[in-house]
Amino acid sequence: MNTPLSSTFFSAPPDWGWLVVFYFFVGGLAGGSYFLAVLIDFFGRAEDRPLARLGYYISFPCIILSGILLTLDLRRPERFWHMLFQSNTFRPMFKYYSPMSIGSWALLIFGIFSLIAFLSALAEADRLKWPAARSLRPPAMLGGILSVLGGLLGFFVAGYTGVLLSVTNRPIWSDTPLLGMLFVVSAASISASLMLLLAERSGWKMPGVRALHRMDAWVVALEFIVLIALMISLGPVFRAWLNAWGVLLLVGVILIGMLAPLALYWRNLNATAAAVLVLIGGFILRLVIVFSAQGV
Amino acid sequence: MAEPMGFYTDTTVCIGCKACEVACKEWNQLPSTNGGQNTLSGDSYDNTRALDGIHWRHVKFVEQFTDDRKDGRWLLMSDVCKHCVNAPCLEVCPTGAIVRTEFDSVVIQSDACNGCRDCISACPFGVIEINPVSGTAQKCTLCYDRLQSGMEPACSKACPTQSIQFGTIRELRGRAQKRVDQLQQMGEKRAYLYGADDKMLGGLNSFYLLVDKPEVYGLPPDPKMPTRNLKMGSWFSALGAIVVGLMGVISLRNRGASAQEGRP
């Protein structure tokens, strides 16, 4: 037997499959959309407020879907609450050094923030007859505080999944510390893209849409840099990607999901197509990362 | 706490009889076939192939033969959970189902496990798998129930060649070192102990006497704790969030310099 590339090659795959891939995608959308909405609330113009509300409208359904996907992925779904409470004592279950433990709590708490933002956005748009809920969102003081906390939690939800993969002993996942960063940046890019697509469908032309376009281009460029840095950080383990997964990463993520949209944004061509491509690339990225580390 | 207990496995005297596998299955009431399917490897006497949720002991058959098969040797090794002193599975388990016992062994409580499978990816040895019957992660318990009654584990009790030896870690380490010295004197210069000191994951409470490189036996040369990536991973994620946030602020500011005044 040849010398192994890394001691991580002796671990067993956890059999995390499509449910986890979809969760990584919608979890990223949930956290990223909320965060972008907070940014628009604080730094956008008055006419951008529908765009911020759109972010909250995306976030809440996505975080609910996340919880469902994660529960279904358990081999004993009826025991999902064991993540939060010890099953024999009913005391809180929390390990600050286990990303899955922190993540479970983060999902629950962020879910509450996301629900509040969702309701206040509905109230502001007069779709919900509950005027008091308007104070739960900026520029009201309480709303401002909730937004900042929720935005931070949103980024946590988007990024902890990458850290969770790194805190294992599987090849690729645990051979780089950059997966969390990649997922955070990617969450921002796919969320901006989805918001842009929906804004376009509504025919919105407010300044925030243009700002979001520009931001998306920058974030995709950053994502490209982080992915290259991640590949370099793998060292010899990079050879584990010299197969069909590597080709999919190159074509599906780097070419279709990053370089093509960047070119479209750069030349002010078809921004809609660019946003669609970013979303496709973001999904394939999670697909490759989840599956490629389990086939080796 | 009782004194730390564990296994010392001398692979040089294993004859591959698999009595340990059978004894383990009998005592722990593990199914003999995987859902009624008997699988044969077809290229080895080893039909178990790997440790998993219903195989908590696995005798590895490593064949080292020359191409013309005139010369060669069998390396046999009964593999099991290493009951690491710093256990990666226990570290990541989000439900608290994985615990350390008074014997310093590592046990998964099946009634608390919800099958998230984080421990499977954390174990550097590939020991843990889901038991399809219970839907929970399972592995060797060092026969916790037998130990509580003052009995030794089923596998070591059944081993006919004393390849698997059970006892206190302190005593086993002494015994193992003597055996290495003996083999060295007899000319087997390759003999050494794997995981018998506290350098590897704080020490393996199930350690091995080997006569070839660890990877030949399917063991990682340098197993590490999963949390080695926790700090750096978190810092880089935070850095990513800050940079993305700045990009957002700059983008929005450029398009709406009078944003503050314009807000209702």
Residue with tokens 């850290």: A163
Cis omega (within 30 of 0) for bond into B124: no
> What would the DSSP string read from start to end of B101-165?
-TTS-EEE-TTT-----HHHHH-TT---EEETTTTEEE----SHHHHHTTPPPHHHHH-SSS-EE
Residue B37 β-bridge partners: B34
Size of interface A-B (CB pairs under 8 A): 243
C-alpha A60 chain-centroid distance: 13
Please tell me the distance in Å from B234's CA to the nearest CA on chain A: 7
Q: How confident is the model at residue B102 (pLDDT cuts 50, 70, 90)?
A: very high
A170 chain-B contacts, CB cut-off 8 A: 121
Q: Nearest residue of B to residue A13 by CA position?
A: B121
Is the CB of A14 less than 8 angstroms away from the CB of B117? yes
Nearest to A281 by CA among A270, A292, A291, A273: A273
Which residues of chain A register pLDDT less than 70?
1-2
For residue A84, the tally of other CB atoms under 10 A from its CB is 16
- Looking at domain B5-224, which of 3.30.70.20, 1.10.357.10, 3.40.50.150, 1.20.1250.20 is its CATH number? 3.30.70.20
pLDDT tens-place string over residues B67-89: 998 999 999 999 999 999 999 99
Tell me how far apart the alpha carbons of residues A123 and A139 are, in angstroms, rounded to a whole number: 14
pLDDT tens-place string over residues A162-210: 999 999 999 999 999 999 999 999 999 999 999 999 999 999 999 999 9
CB B82 within 8 A of CB B204: yes
In this prediction, residue B255 carries a pLDDT of: 52
Q: How confident is the model at residue B264 (pLDDT cuts 50, 70, 90)?
A: very low
For residue B187, the tally of other CB atoms under 10 A from its CB is 7
> Residue B174 has which token pair?
């002494």
In this prediction, residue B128 carries a pLDDT of: 98
Q: How confident is the model at residue B257 (pLDDT cuts 50, 70, 90)?
A: very low
Give the three-class secondary structure for B218: coil
Q: How confident is the model at residue B43 (pLDDT cuts 50, 70, 90)?
A: confident
Say if A71 is an interface residue toward chain B (CB within 8 Å): no
pLDDT tens-place string over residues B166-175: 999 999 999 9
What ipTM was predicted for this assembly? Answer: 0.95
Please tell me the distance in Å from B254's CA to the nearest CA on chain A: 8
Say which CATH superfamily domain A14-292 falls into: Formate dehydrogenase/DMSO reductase domain (1.20.1630.10)
Q: How confident is the model at residue B41 (pLDDT cuts 50, 70, 90)?
A: confident
